[in-house]
Structure 1
């Protein structure tokens, strides 16, 4: 995670798969929580991680953004190439999103955030990275926007969460 000047970030907890912090945004005079994640490729481990994130969300009040590599997709349309993603994996992810009343902010840019970087019929692309927010965060900002940036040597594209896209910078 990286942030701009004018944001005061205080890491409150972390583990092998997440970093949780409080963000004090001076431009908007808003305080909110952010949870950066890199979830497991294992469906069973990821399910336990979803539960842990849900508990963290219950313990926080106010706006929350969860962002990063979820290693899961919500629909078959979020994948191109390779075999089918198990329905159970997509269902678990969608239940996590729904049970926690989260909204996917979508993104501006290319559709996929990960690629195995192979050619031809061996190419697999997926939207594994995203920004999910709760209603309180949406109420705190006019129109938060997510930009998909270019990959620079990684197989994942970085995402930029812009909480002040219409404000003069």
Structure 2
């Protein structure tokens, strides 16, 4: 399961003494993550807010007048969610400082830093880092000589989101 998405837990309580009724709970340790009522012996949970990592969940059936309590455990692994980075730069003329807009897309709000690297062939001619706000940052690059440049943007990731890189081409035209 990816971070930021709800974890689905489906419960089925069976008995040779008819269809169980009553409440079921999902616990992580002593923390109650949800409680619901069985319907036809089944129940579903959509758990939100589980951190990245492995979680051992205990599903507890509270029982009723004819059915004893019971419980089972399930292990859920929540992985970092993915990101996709896009960078755009409009063509400019010599003597103008170009701007690069970096957008990092994910299923959760992205914060942190993105670094824009400008290359002429294999030579790095500029590197600028900016702080993302809701997944977007615009940085001003230094003035560049006439020519075509490769521009890449890198988001390093976080504890909940994987890093990613995107690229584009920047053309600096003569005046």
TM-score (norm 1): 0.22
Structure number with higher strand proportion: 2
Larger Rg: 2
Structure with greater contact order relative to length (CA < 8 Å, sep ≥ 6): 2
Structure number with higher helix proportion: 1
TM-score (norm 2): 0.21
